[in-house]
Chains A and B, each alone.
Chain A
Amino acid sequence: GAGVSQTPSNKVTEKGKYVELRCDPISGHTALYWYRQSLGQGPEFLIYFQGTGAADDSGLPNDRFFAVRPEGSVSTLKIQRTERGDSAVYLCASSSKTGWDTEAFFGQGTRLTVV
């Protein structure tokens, strides 16, 4: 596709439920990022993939959060036992290579609301 695509664009879920957020990166992009943006804040790093592997998951807040990228393209962010504090916009970004001089392209995000 022309850009990074995230689905759904909005998700409302009840506290305690499980959710999956999907990201389709730009075709051919090997690097993929997940960020979380809370109200009034800048994007906060969650996890970074190079190909299929999570090169850095140090930003995941706890073990309720998990992400996969099984074929090195689409990625899914999974949140178990959601809490109201998980409400935020979840952003996905991709870049064409893993080298130093690269820029990330962002999707429109998934707005997650936990009620």
Chain B
Amino acid sequence: AQSVSQHNHHVILSEAASLELGCNYSYGGTVNLFWYVQYPGQHLQLLLKYFSGDPLVKGIKGFEAEFIKSKFSFNLRKPSVQWSDTAEYFCAFRGGTYKYIFGTGTRLKVLA
């Protein structure tokens, strides 16, 4: 069955620390990949997406993600986090279907 694994459930960082959140999906064919973010009290918002082309994708607020097909991974990175990045982050993909399959999420807390 198609699934997404997010390895880190809770992450706590100090401001200016670097961030990397892991995401692996299970599907052998062509995929669309997404990172969504949910700030406290707000709805899910798209952070970045990969459809095709350059596997290094840049999103909003300084986030980027790299698609590594051989590893079925789409890890999210940010070189220097801010207190305002405190949120829950969801990795999702679509593989051969219009359904978005989501991971369980990673709660990031950034200490000021």
Interface residues in chain A, defined as those with a beta carbon under 8 Å from any beta carbon in chain B: 3-4, 31, 33, 35, 40-45, 48, 55-56, 59, 91, 93, 98, 100-101, 103-109
Chain B residue contacts of A100, Cβ below 8 A: 32, 51, 94
- How far is it, in angstroms, between the C-alpha of A91 and the C-alpha of B45 when the chains are bound? 12
C-alpha gap A76/B4 in the complex (Å): 28
24 A-B pairs with CB atoms under 8 Å apart are: A3-B43, A33-B100, A35-B100, A35-B102, A41-B104, A41-B105, A42-B92, A42-B103, A42-B105, A43-B90, A45-B99, A48-B98, A48-B99, A55-B98, A56-B97, A56-B98, A91-B43, A91-B44, A98-B98, A100-B32, A101-B32, A103-B34, A106-B43, A108-B42
Chain B, residues 70-112, CB within 8 Å of chain A (1/0): the string is 0000000000000000000010101001111111110000000
**What residues of A have a CB within 8 angstroms of the CB of B99 in the complex?**
45, 48, 56, 59
Residues of A within 8 A of B44 (CB): 43, 91, 93, 106
Assembly CA distance A31 to B45 (angstroms): 17
Minimum distance in angstroms from A50 CB to a CB of chain B = 8
Q: B60: shortest Cβ distance to chain A, in Å?
A: 13
Q: Which residue of the partner chain A has the closest CB to B97? A: A56
**A41 shortest CB reach to chain B, Å:** 6
Q: Are B43 and A42 neighbours in the complex by a CB distance under 8 Å?
A: no
A sample of 5 more A-B contacts (CB under 8 A), given A31-B98, A100-B94, is: A3-B43, A42-B105, A101-B32, A103-B49, A106-B43
A33: chain B residues within 8 A (beta carbon):
100
- Interface flag for B46 (CB, 8 Å): yes
- Taken residue by residue from 29 to 54, chain B's Cβ proximity to chain A (1 for < 8 Å, 0 otherwise) reads as 00010101000001111100101100
CB distance from B21 to the nearest CB of A (A): 13
Also in contact, A42 and B90, with CB within 8 A (given A101-B32, A103-B49, A108-B42): yes
* Chain B nearest CB, measured from A98 CB (Å): 7
Partner of B102, one of A43, A55, A98: A43
Cα A96 to Cα B32 in complex, Å, equals: 16
| Docked complex Cα distance between A55 and B97 (Å) | 11
